[in-house]
């Protein structure tokens, strides 16, 4: 009889170990809701988030001709010199630009508040605006192919500068 009760005690002990204790009284009390952030707090948080993305992007392109900077308003600027972006007279994205665009796309995918408010590409040295617009459209399409929603991308434009220009900003609050 003594040995018949032992398995029963063992099973009861295991069941007791498997049960969870009741929640603490503080966990049962409803949490006080915090007031929504002010517009100034939202701008500060957005600038901080974009600063992290600037640092992350800059770390990838340190020692290259790619310029990654942040403006006073928090926007992150990425400039890639034309000679690393396209062959003369062509709009096909070169591998060096593709590497930059891959990281920009990754940054946009991981930062929900970020949008590209500028996608501008130069024409050739002659300043061909039509070629610049074609190139910017290729950049736009490339980013879309990397999973970036069209709603988060600016309309492609041509620039008279000598570099592809991308500007990442925080989305306007809804």
Averages of pLDDT over runs of 10 residues in the chain (174 residues) are 47 46 51 72 79 94 96 94 94 97 96 94 88 97 97 96 95 73
CB-count burial class (<10 Å; 0-12, 13-18, 19+) for 93: buried
Q: Quick one: pLDDT at residue 23?
A: 52
Contact assessment for residue 135 and residue 85, using Cβ atoms and an 8 Å cutoff: yes
Cβ neighbours of residue 37 closer than 8 Å, sequence gap 6 or more: 45
Cβ neighbours of residue 2 closer than 8 Å, sequence gap 6 or more: none
Q: What is the DSSP letter of 160?
A: S
What whole-number distance in Å separates Cα of residue 151 and Cα of residue 37?
Answer: 25
What whole-number distance in Å separates Cα of residue 120 and Cα of residue 133?
Answer: 8
Q: What is the model's pTM? A: 0.75
What whole-number distance in Å separates Cα of residue 139 and Cα of residue 132?
Answer: 11
Contact assessment for residue 139 and residue 119, using Cβ atoms and an 8 Å cutoff: yes
164 C-beta neighbours (distance < 10 Å), count: 27
Indicate the pairing of strand 156-159 with strand 76-81. unpaired
**Choices 1.10.260.40, 3.40.50.620, 3.40.30.10, 3.30.1330.60: CATH for 41-170:** 3.30.1330.60
């Amino acid at each position: 009889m003594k040995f018949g009760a032992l398995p029963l005690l063992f099973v009861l002990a295991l069941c007791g170990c498997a049960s969870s204790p009741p929640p603490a009284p503080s966990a049962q009390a409803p949490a006080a809701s915090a007031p929504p952030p002010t517009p100034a707090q939202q701008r500060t948080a957005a600038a901080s988030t974009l600063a992290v993305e600037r640092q992350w992007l800059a770390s990838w392109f340190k020692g290259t001709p790619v310029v990654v900077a942040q403006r006073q308003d928090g926007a992150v600027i990425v400039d890639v010199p034309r000679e690393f972006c396209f062959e003369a007279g062509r709009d096909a994205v070169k591998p060096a630009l593709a590497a930059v665009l891959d990281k920009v796309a990754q940054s946009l995918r991981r930062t929900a508040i970020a949008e590209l408010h500028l996608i501008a590409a130069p024409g050739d040295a002659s300043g061909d605006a039509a070629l610049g617009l074609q190139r910017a459209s290729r950049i736009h399409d490339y980013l879309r192919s990397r999973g970036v929603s069209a709603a988060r991308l600016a309309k492609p434009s041509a620039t008279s500068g000598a570099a592809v220009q991308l500007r990442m900003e925080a989305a306007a609050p809804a």
